[in-house]
Chain A
Amino acid sequence: MRAPGVLGVALAGSLLVPAAAAGAAWSAGGAGTAAAGAAALGQPGITATCNGVDAIDVVWTAPAGAPVEAFAVERSTDDGLTWTPVTTVPAAGVASSSYTDAALAEATYVYRVTGTTHGWSVVSELSESRVVVHELRTGKRSERYPAGCT
């Protein structure tokens, strides 16, 4: 009875697997983890330049990152302690946008822009400060008129 022994040795060398020709397959399963990542809103760049004697052009760029739906422009006259909303501009896929803040009172202005997408937001750095000055002109009525922006 040596033949069965030979058979046993032959099979012991490799484990049995389903015969492909027969179409048999073993089910295989398991558990683990997959990974996904979230984008981030890129920080907009911002500039503020004088436009005439009492207006300031605020220009910002939409950076790479998750698409921004809208940009909210704010200004501060106390060096960033408090902020006043100026306008909200839909992003509409444009690379850059601008807003002219006109008829300004005498003050020192600083701007910032906040990009928003649903619950996400990102705030720009503060713009450089711009100073709008008014001067008193005397006449029939003494009034202060815009005199310059620097």
Chain B
Amino acid sequence: VPSPTPRRPHLGAVVGAPATRPAHRARARTVLLLVVPFLLLGTGTAVAYWAAAGSGSGTAAAGTAQPLSTVATSASVTSLLYPGGPAADVTLAVQNPNPYPVTITGVAADGPVTATGGIGTCTTHGVTLVAPTAGLPFTVSPSATATVTLASAAQMSTAAENGCQGATFTLPVSLTGASS
């Protein structure tokens, strides 16, 4: 029986008939040379895909907007109230606890005004918050406090008691704004 003609190694064949040791090594080298570049290319493609699309099951924390607050501040000394007089300035110090700037666009009355430090009884003072003529909007930097003077934002009626002279008024306010 004539011996079969040895088959020529087939490029790309992974599984083949047993071969001699030198032929096996040569075939394995060939396979590596062909497959590894494809593996590397595939890996690169995968990385590029994730980085570009940013989709998948990654986790991220969305910041929760923290409410604005105020800190105690002194009343303006250059613009003061008196009965029947013009509107006077209001000072406001807004604290922004958020990691982004916030622009305040609205300041509204949010409760009864109280008085301290007058020369006598000041139960009836007639002080009200009115729409400011200047000072809005203003921006508070991230994690910062900004003091602003709202021009002509408070008024005193003629009902103010005599004891209100020299008093300081605390005006509860609500603040509205948005990240900027």
Q: Which residues of A contact B (CB under 8 A)?
A: 3-8, 11-12, 14-18, 25-41, 66-67, 117-122
In the bound complex, do residue B46 and residue A3 qualify as a contact, i.e. CB atoms below 8 Å apart?
yes
Is B5 part of the binding interface, using a Cβ–Cβ cutoff of 8 Å? no
Stretch from B16-24, B30-38, B89-97 contacting the other chain: B89-97
A27 to B100, CA, bound (A): 12
In the bound complex, do residue A31 and residue B172 qualify as a contact, i.e. CB atoms below 8 Å apart?
yes
A26 to B102, CA, bound (A): 9
Contact of A38 with B118 at beta-carbon distance under 8 Å, contacts A8-B59, A33-B70 already known: yes
Contacts of A15 in B (CB 8 A): 61-63, 99
In the bound complex, do residue A35 and residue B171 qualify as a contact, i.e. CB atoms below 8 Å apart?
yes
Report, as a range, how many residues of chain B touch the other chain: 35 or more
In the bound complex, do residue A66 and residue B82 qualify as a contact, i.e. CB atoms below 8 Å apart?
yes
In the bound complex, do residue A29 and residue B177 qualify as a contact, i.e. CB atoms below 8 Å apart?
yes
Q: Closest approach, in angstroms, between the C-beta of B111 and any C-beta of chain A?
A: 9
A28 to B60, CA, bound (A): 22
In the bound complex, do residue B168 and residue A17 qualify as a contact, i.e. CB atoms below 8 Å apart?
no
Contacts of B65 in A (CB 8 A): 26-28
A4, A30, A39: which contacts B58 (Cβ < 8 A)? A4
CB-CB nearest 10 A-B residue pairs: A32-B70, A3-B50, A30-B68, A37-B75, A15-B63, A118-B83, A7-B58, A11-B60, A39-B80, A40-B165
Q: Which residues of B contact A (CB under 8 A)?
A: 46-47, 49-51, 54, 56-63, 65, 67-77, 80-85, 88-92, 94-96, 98-100, 102, 104, 107, 110, 115, 118-119, 125, 127, 129, 150, 153-154, 156, 158-162, 164-180
Majority SS of interface residues in chain A?
A: mixed
Q: Closest approach, in angstroms, between the C-beta of A36 and any C-beta of chain B?
A: 4
B69, B164, B167: which contacts A31 (Cβ < 8 A)? B69
B58, B73, B96: which contacts A5 (Cβ < 8 A)? B58
Closest A residue, CB atoms, query B156: A38
Contacts of B167 in A (CB 8 A): 37-38
A11 to B56, CA, bound (A): 13
Q: Closest approach, in angstroms, between the C-beta of A8 and any C-beta of chain B?
A: 4
A8 to B50, CA, bound (A): 11
